[in-house]
Amino acid sequence: MLDATPKQNAWPVYAIQAEIKRVCGATIDHKTVLGCLSHMVEQGLVKDCGKQTFVREKIKEREPHVKLVKDDPIHVKPETEISHMSEKSDLLSPAARIAGSLRKLADEVEEFGLECAKRIADKDKENGLVRQLKELLKD
């Protein structure tokens, strides 16, 4: 979607739709394209020029979150940042354990769903045979 949005001149939504179709061969409805563009406007990636015309915003350079020490050839992070990282990992350990449990539960739920689907299919097959037999007995 972002690639189909022009960088210099503002285009209306239908022109962006046509560009998507030209490049990808996909037809996306007007509301979906407009919703995606609105989301990109909120994120600061695209500018709404009014009357449903859009153009890409220039990407601004962001300062790195970690400032490296110039004199240090290895670029080691400051101690305060390392202590924050250990605090974060202490907080993430229970989250990782919970995530593992959730994965196991999801696998069990999936297995149960597949078993139910198999049973339903078997019952449908049986019911089909009973219907056929019933039809034969009617005749």
What distance in Å separates the CA atoms of residue 71 and residue 69, rounded to the nearest whole number? 6
| Length in residues, the chain | 139
Please say whether the dihedral angle defined by the alpha carbons of residues 11, 16, 17 and 18, taken in this order, is positive or negative.
positive
> Over its length of 139 residues, how does the chain's per-residue pLDDT go in tens digits?
667 777 778 888 888 888 888 888 878 888 888 888 888 888 888 888 888 888 888 776 665 555 555 555 555 555 555 555 555 666 677 777 888 888 889 889 999 988 988 999 889 888 888 888 888 888 7
Q: Residue 55 has what DSSP assignment? A: E
Q: Is the pTM of this model over 0.75?
A: no
Given a contact cutoff of 8 angstroms between Cβ atoms, the answer to whether 34 and 52 are in contact is yes
Sorted by where each begins, the domain ranges of the chain are 11-56, 65-139
3-state secondary structure at position 12: strand
Q: What are phi and psi of 101, to 5 degrees?
A: -65, -40
